[in-house]
Structure 1
Amino acid sequence: MMEDTRWLNQVQWDEQGLVPVITQDAASGEVLMFAWMNREALSLTAEHGEAVYWSRSRRKLWHKGEESGHIQKVRDIRIDCDSDVVLLKVEQVGGIACHTGRRSCFFQQYLSEGRWEPVEPVLKDPDQIYRKD
């Protein structure tokens, strides 16, 4: 029997067939990252319990952590009141969500001097995370 996918039809996909996704730490509530999903990515995320996104730059599915090992174990999937934004609550394996080696992608803070300043530490050098063989 085929899986019921009506729940995917409730999502308000944009003209490219994408929906924005906010990813949050399930325990602390900290926002870890923002990304996009297409229908297949959301379906795979729900099916396997690990975050799968759509990479707009690479134009392909992206299983978070496929290169770094920093997978996101999904604890909850929600949708907003307009059905056009997905919220993932995850357990961030390895404690690093950002490709820069930081806990969160939101590590830059606006300062009154009119500039952005990194305010979160690099936990692991990206060259050690993404080894080029």
Structure 2
Amino acid sequence: MFKEWEKLSQGSAIALDEYLSVLKYNEQGLIPAIAQQHDTGEVLMMAWMNEQSIRETLKEGQVCYWSRSRQTYWRKGESSGHRQRLVSMRADCDGDTLLLLVDQQGAACHTNRRDCFYFEVQQEQVVVLNDVDSGLA
């Protein structure tokens, strides 16, 4: 279906139910979702969503993921207060990855870092890019 939709012009609309039904979920019914700070472009984290967590996120405006380790819904910031408010949700051209433009309150990473991508490969070593930020709210 996404191949057919490539021909659509700007402003064309697709029914939400149809769109969600053709997203490419894996065998567990999950799709990767990348969270990006909406105003800076900073890539914050990657997590998994299923159709129900997508619908809840769209309805509530608070990002809800599926936790594979806990096998339950995970509303970002529920325990830490580091919430993600959804600004926009997008899918890539073949429908197998979501991009969530969010307003991140505080740390996105469970380590209390701003983002989860703090390990950088530099030639023959990996360097930690930033410290835990105890000042994040």
Q: Which residue of 2 aligns with 1:120?
A: 130
SS of 1:54's partner is strand
Matches within 5 A, 1:1-133: 5-94=17-106, 96-112=107-123, 114-124=124-134
Q: Which runs of 5+ in 1 are unaligned?
A: none
Report the TM-score when normalising by structure 1. 0.85
CA shift at 1:81, angstroms?
0.4
1:124 positional shift: 2.0
| Cα distance in structure 1, aligned partners of 2:120 and 2:108 | 17
Please give the secondary structure, in 2, of the residue aligned with 1:5.
helix
Paired amino acid for 2:75: H
Alpha-carbon shift at residue 7 of structure 1 (Å): 2.9
Q: Post-superposition shift, 1:116?
A: 1.6
Q: Distance in 1 between matches of 2:60 and 2:127?
A: 37
Mapped partners of 2:18, 2:58: distance in 1: 13
Counterpart of 2:53 in structure 1: which amino acid?
Answer: A
Taking only the aligned residue pairs, the percentage that are identical comes to 43
Aligned length: 121
Q: RMSD in angstroms over aligned alpha carbons?
A: 1.5
Structure 1: distance between partners of 2:48 and 2:126: 24
Q: Secondary structure of 1:84's partner?
A: coil
- The structural deviation recorded for 1:121 is 2.3
| CA distance in 2: counterparts of 1:15 and 1:82, whole angstroms | 17
